[in-house]
Amino acid sequence: MSMPKTLLLSLAFFVLGSAAVSADTTDPLPSWNDTQSKQSIMAFVERVTRKGSSDFVPVSERIATFDNDGTLWAEQPMYFQLFFAVDRVKALAKEHPEWKTEEPFASLLAGDVQSVLAGGLESAVKIVMASHAGMTTEEFEEIVNEWLETARHPVTGRPYTEMVYQPMLELLSYLRANEFKTFIVSGGGIEFMRPWTERVYGIPPEQVVGSSIKTEFAMEDGKPVLRRLPEIDFIDDKEGKPVGINSHIGRRPVFAAGNSDGDLQMLQYTAAGEGPRLMLYLHHTDGEREWAYDRESSIGKLDKGLDIAKEQGWTVIDMARDWRRVFPAGS
Amino acid sequence: MSMPKTLLLSLAFFVLGSAAVSADTTDPLPSWNDTQSKQSIMAFVERVTRKGSSDFVPVSERIATFDNDGTLWAEQPMYFQLFFAVDRVKALAKEHPEWKTEEPFASLLAGDVQSVLAGGLESAVKIVMASHAGMTTEEFEEIVNEWLETARHPVTGRPYTEMVYQPMLELLSYLRANEFKTFIVSGGGIEFMRPWTERVYGIPPEQVVGSSIKTEFAMEDGKPVLRRLPEIDFIDDKEGKPVGINSHIGRRPVFAAGNSDGDLQMLQYTAAGEGPRLMLYLHHTDGEREWAYDRESSIGKLDKGLDIAKEQGWTVIDMARDWRRVFPAGS
Domain B31-79+158-322 has CATH 3.50.50.60: no
Distance of residue B154 Cα from the nearest chain A Cα, in angstroms:
30
Whether residue A215 lies within 8 A of chain B, CB to CB, comes out as: yes
- Terminal Cα-to-Cα distance of chain A (whole angstroms): 52
Residue A42: per-residue pLDDT: 98
Select the residue from B181, B194, B217 to test the A interface by mutation, using most A Cβ atoms within 10 A.
Answer: B217
Higher pLDDT, B9 or A144: A144
Fold of A31-49+56-78+136-322: Rossmann fold (3.40.50)
B215 CB neighbours in chain A (<8 A) are: 243, 246-247
- Give A207-233 pLDDT, tens digit per residue: 999 999 999 999 999 999 999 999 999
Residue B2: per-residue pLDDT: 46
Residue A4: per-residue pLDDT: 52
B1 CB neighbours in chain A (<8 A) are: 2, 5, 8
Q: Which of B77, B76, B69 is closest to B257 using CA atoms?
A: B69
- Give A184-197 pLDDT, tens digit per residue: 999 999 999 999 99
B269 CB neighbours in chain A (<8 A) are: 217, 224, 226
Residue A259 has pLDDT above 70, yes or no: yes
Nearest by CB to residue A224, choosing from B63, B194, B269, is: B269
Residue A1 has pLDDT above 60, yes or no: no
Which residue of chain B is at minimal alpha-carbon distance from A233?
B233
Q: Which of A199, A226, A231, A200 is closest to A214 using CA atoms?
A: A231
- Give A275-315 pLDDT, tens digit per residue: 999 999 999 999 999 999 999 998 999 999 999 999 999 99
Whole-Å CA distances, B293 to B76, B288, B302:
10, 12, 8
Share of chain A above pLDDT 70, in %: 92
Whether residue B142 lies within 8 A of chain A, CB to CB, comes out as: no
Domain range list for chain A? 31-49+56-78+136-322
Nearest by CB to residue A208, choosing from B15, B183, B250, is: B250
Select the residue from A60, A232, A246, A270 to test the B interface by mutation, using most B Cβ atoms within 10 A.
Answer: A246
- Give A127-184 pLDDT, tens digit per residue: 988 999 999 999 999 999 999 999 999 999 999 999 999 999 999 999 999 999 999 9
Which residue of chain B is at minimal alpha-carbon distance from A215?
B243
- Give B174-195 pLDDT, tens digit per residue: 999 999 999 999 999 999 999 9
Q: Are B293 and B260 in contact (CB under 8 A)?
A: no
- Give B96-152 pLDDT, tens digit per residue: 999 999 999 999 999 888 888 788 878 888 898 999 999 999 999 999 999 999 999
- Give A44-96 pLDDT, tens digit per residue: 999 999 999 999 999 999 999 999 999 999 999 999 999 999 999 999 999 99
Dist CA B330 CA A169 (whole Å)? 48
Quote ipTM for the complex.
0.90
Residue A21: per-residue pLDDT: 42
Dist CA A202 CA A148 (whole Å)? 17
